[in-house]
Chains A and B, each alone.
Chain A
Amino acid sequence: MGKLLPSFGNAHYAGAGCLNPLSNDPDYETIGIGTRIFLGGGIGYVMGEGSQHNPRDRFGTLFLKGDLKQMSSEFLLGACYEKYGTSMFVGVGVPIPILNEGLARKTSIRDEELLTDVVDYGVPRRERPKLKEISYKELKSGHIDLDGKKVKSSSLSSLFYARKIAEILKKWIESGEFLLNPPAETLPINTLFKPMKQTSKLKFVKDIKREAVICFDDCDLKMVAKKIINQSMNHIVITNREKILMGIVTSFDVTKAIAEDKKDLNKIITKKVITTSNNEPIDVAARKMKSNEISALPVVDENNKVIGIITSEEMM
C-alpha cells in the first residue's frame, strides 16, 4: 500500500508506533471480547481477534463493532490507494487500565523499542525478502538507512489523529461518560496466522546460478578466446576492475570478429545486456531469455556488480 518509487526510492510504514494499543498491551491482558473502545467518534466494542491476527509475530489485529450513528466523519473517512483499491481510515482508541506493575512497564514502550522488518515490495511474490530489522524511531525520523543509502520514509496513518483520539478518550474517561470494563475473554496470544501456501517450491536465480567467467574490459580478443576454450563457456562477461558489468561476449561474437578481421574487443562487445538478479524466479528469467532470443543472463546486484551467470543449459 502507498506509492513506492523504483530502486528503493522511498519507504512507507503503517501504525502509530508507540501509540498503537496492541503494542502497549502486547499480551492482551486488558483487550478482548467485549472491551469497550473509542470507535470512529462513538463507543464501540471489541468482538474478538481480526482475520489476520498473528500474535506470535507481534502482529495483532482486532475485530470491532460500532454504531455508525454515533460516529463522526472526522474519524471515519474513505480512502483510495492508486492501483490498490478502496480503503477506510477508522479512528480507534483502546483504553488500557494499568492493573499491575507489568502493564505499567509495558505501556511505557517507546518507538526505539518497537522493531519491525523492512520488506522489499518490488519482489512480486508472497514471501518477500526482508532487508533488515528497524525501529519505529528510525522510521519516524523521516529517513532510514538501507545499505548506506538514505531512503525517505513516511507513514500511512496519522499520528496527529492518533494523539487526538487518545486525548478525547482520556476526557471521556475523566468525565465519567466512558466506563472501562474487563473483557469477557482476552484475545489469543499463541495462535498462528497461516496464509495459503505455495504447493510447489519456487526456484530462484540464486539457486541455479554459477560463477561467471569474467574478462576485464581492457583485455584483448585472444584472452577472451582462451577463456572460452579453457572454461568451456559460451558467454564471457566483461566487467571493469570493480566487477561492474560492462558487456557480454559470446563465442559467436569472437568467431564473427575473426571472420571480419576485427581485433578490438570493444567493437564486438554487446553493451546493452539484459540481466537478472538473485531473487528473480527462474521462470521470469527464462521468459527474459526467450523473448530476447538469448541463451545467458548475467546475475547482478543492485549496483550492477556481476555475481554470477545463468545459461539456458542450467534451466534444463
Chain B
Amino acid sequence: MTIINVTLPFGVIKDIGDYSRFINEILKFNITLNILKLSTGSNGTNLLIDIPENRIKSITESLKKINIIVNKKGRVFIDDDKCIDCGACISLCPTDALNFDIEERLNFYFEKCIGCLLCLDSCPRFAIEEM
C-alpha cells in the first residue's frame, strides 16, 4: 500500500453526489482504500489515501480527468534558519522526501513530497511551514 494525497479544489465538490462520484472513481478499480486523513484548507479539501501500489498510475490518471489534483508538489517548505537538523520529521515522511545527507543535515526533496503534511506538527522548532 502507498499513500497518495488528493486535493479536491473548491467548486469540484458541490453536493454529496459529487463526493460519491469521486470515491467511485477510485473504487472502480476494485480495490480497498484507507482514508488516513481528511482536512479542509484554503485551497479545498485534502484527503490522504492509502491505495495499492500497482494502481497508483491508473487512479491518478482517472482522477485528473475530473479535475482532481493528486500529489500536489511543494506544499511545505523548510525554514533553514529555524531547523536544527534534529531529524524528528524524518521518520514521519511516507515517501522519504525528508532525509539526512552524509553530514547529518536535513535535506528536503521537493520532487518526492506528496504534501501529506504529516511532518507539519512534528517539528519542535516550527521550521516546517505549509505554503
**Which residues of chain A are near B75, meaning CB under 8 Å?**
none
* Contact of A160 (CB < 8 Å), options: B89, B92, B104: B104
Q: Known: A79-B124, A81-B124. Contact between A3 and B87, CB under 8 A?
A: no
Q: Is A10 in contact with B91, judged by CB distance below 8 angstroms?
A: yes
A156 to B86, CA, bound (A): 5
Q: Is B125 in contact with A79, judged by CB distance below 8 angstroms?
A: yes
Tell me whether A159 is interfacial, beta carbon within 8 Å. yes
0 or 1 for each of B77-98: is its CB under 8 Å from A? (1 = yes): 0000000111111111100000
Q: Is A142 in contact with B121, judged by CB distance below 8 angstroms?
A: no
Residues of A in contact (CB 8 Å), total 27
Residue among A77, A153, A160 with max Cβ neighbours from chain B (10 Å) = A160
Residues of B in contact (CB 8 Å), total 20
Q: B73-131: which have CB < 8 Å to A?
A: 84-93, 100, 103-105, 118, 121-122, 124-126
**Which residues of chain A are near B84, meaning CB under 8 Å?**
77, 89, 158, 161
**Which residues of chain B are near A5, meaning CB under 8 Å?**
92, 118
Q: Known: A77-B84, A159-B104, A161-B85. Contact between A82 and B122, CB under 8 A?
A: yes
Q: Is A153 in contact with B91, judged by CB distance below 8 angstroms?
A: yes
**Which residues of chain B are near A142, meaning CB under 8 Å?**
90-91, 100
13 A-B Cβ contacts within 8 A?
Answer: A3-B88, A3-B92, A3-B121, A10-B92, A89-B86, A152-B91, A154-B91, A156-B124, A159-B85, A159-B104, A160-B103, A160-B105, A163-B104
Q: Write the residues of chain B forming the contact surface with A, with a CB cutoff of 8 angstroms.
A: 84-93, 100, 103-105, 118, 121-122, 124-126
